[in-house]
A and B are shown apart, each in its own frame.
Chain A
């Protein structure tokens, strides 16, 4: 479940949703995407995406991975302890840097917030609810940014952080097809979700996408995953 695709969904949510979709496809599980305007409120933890299986609802990539593992599908069984530690570390890096940067750009950068984020977020609702919800969300995200210290950063610094993160990912990937040998793992799904979304979403400036494009192995990585797992997807 995710918010409305064409109009409402925002960059960071789209990235997370795509990551979950990629992961489920990598596990070989059939997945159906449903769009709801109030997906955020339907979710048990307030975060999207979430999946609905039988009579259980699980949200966010971490819990979803554990849920599928409990059901017997796992991508990271072949890793030893050290590799699993590395994988978790890299996933945190992506979450810490990329997701936070996406949130920052969407909500703390005034130009983007006014032109894109607020209108999109509130598009299914009528005035004045739309205004209230949009500003509430923005206020909430800004509070969180301040709490973790990103409130004082400029856009340039955020771009710089994203570049460094991509550089780390690029160096880790090297020339391998996936991050850990030949098998994709949840890390691959997460990275794909974020990078692909950033590359294909229209923002007020293309700086972010440009920065990612400078790492060619990441680009080919995204393309490879898209072709392998999403070839029947009509988007």
Chain B
């Protein structure tokens, strides 16, 4: 979350053996964006136990006694708790949301994984130093390379079919799919501020989660990023969301449905979000790393975070 105020956010390297790799950049950004849109107050708390990174999954939301993981489940959880940014959508728009999310997952995610993890130049210059710098030895060797392997195998398994067994052959296909996906998003967005009307919804959160890292990260080599920058309405959308919801100078705009929020204010004190620990770490890293300058001063992350709720 703090990382996003610097213009990009990179996320979890808390990886579990089977499923953690999916909960990366995209999911955490998505979740945080959604939390902002719906007005839920989440506390970002860093986790200091870096060794736990090998077994836990992020993003993870703790509320009271229950822990919820996975972006979509967290969104469902928030909805049930009545922090709902989709309140005003019609049934058909809800269906459209599901469809577009599937499109993003299928077409855009492999290309993003490739850009950040498999492309040698990007990996060596950007991704690996980010993750490695915040982990103690020897994790800083293990974790990034493990994530890279997982990303590679995922791409090959889902996209590589005979005779496309090597990554180089799959690359062309996944990038053209991703460009097409970005174009489709651009058509759908048109000239509007958000995908459905004037207030953001979960689809906006998902799109933001996927597109923002690609847009803002300074990747040494990325044809996909250049393609994205040509789509003015999508980049405007990202900038807009960043400026409106992730700026520490302005408080978050009040969500439209006020009455459902009031009843839940008591719950805010119990809402603790652990998933952005990595964002915190990344943020610290970025503050100290020479090539990125923070835009504004960051509040110190709070370590003892059980019951306090601070505006995210």
Q: Which A residues lie at the B interface, using CB under 8 A? A: 45-47, 81-82, 84-86, 88-90, 92-93, 95-97, 143-144, 146-149, 151-152, 164-165, 167-172, 174
Contact = CB atoms under 8 A, between A and B. Distances in A.
Given A147-B153, A148-B158, A171 B99 contact: no
B183 to A, nearest CB: 8
Given A167-B95, A172-B95, A85 B184 contact: yes
16 contacts: A45-B164, A85-B184, A85-B185, A85-B188, A86-B96, A86-B99, A92-B99, A92-B103, A92-B106, A148-B154, A164-B98, A168-B98, A169-B95, A171-B92, A172-B92, A172-B95
A94 B94 CA distance: 15
Contacts of A81: 187
Contacts of B99: 86, 89-90, 92-93, 168, 172
B4 interface: no
Nearest to A47: B161
Contacts of B92: 171-172, 174
B18 A149 contact: yes
B142 interface: no
Please give me the 6 A-B residue pairs with the lowest Cβ-Cβ distance, nearest first.
A168-B95, A93-B102, A85-B184, A89-B99, A81-B187, A89-B103
B187 A92 contact: no
A45 B162 contact: yes
Nearest to A90: B99
Interface of B: 18-19, 22, 91-92, 94-96, 98-100, 102-103, 105-107, 153-154, 157-158, 161-162, 164, 180, 184-185, 187-188, 190
A177 B105 CA distance: 29
A133 to B, nearest CB: 15
A31 B208 CA distance: 44
A168 B95 CA distance: 4
Given A92-B102, A144-B157, 18 more contacts: A85-B185, A88-B184, A92-B99, A92-B105, A93-B103, A95-B102, A95-B106, A96-B102, A146-B18, A147-B158, A149-B22, A152-B19, A164-B98, A167-B95, A168-B98, A171-B91, A172-B92, A172-B96
B301 to A, nearest CB: 29
Contacts of B187: 81-82, 84-85
B154 A82 contact: no
A46 B161 contact: yes
B140 to A, nearest CB: 25
Main DSSP-derived SS at the A contact region:
helix
Contacts of B188: 82, 85-86
Given A89-B184, A169-B95, A149 B19 contact: yes
Contacts of B154: 147-148
Nearest to A150: B19
Main DSSP-derived SS at the B contact region:
helix
A108 to B, nearest CB: 13
Nearest to B156: A147
A152 B235 CA distance: 36
A125 to B, nearest CB: 19
A31 B180 CA distance: 30
A96 B105 contact: yes
A152 B18 contact: yes
B18 to A, nearest CB: 5
Contacts of B180: 88
A152 B157 CA distance: 17
Contacts of A174: 92
Contacts of B157: 143-144, 147-148
Interface centre among B92, B98, B100, B184 (most CB of A within 10 A): B98
Contacts of B164: 45
Contacts of B184: 84-85, 88-89
Contacts of A165: 98
B58 to A, nearest CB: 14
B178 to A, nearest CB: 13
Contact of B161 (A45, A86, A148, A152): A45
B190 A97 contact: no
Interface centre among B102, B105, B161 (most CB of A within 10 A): B102
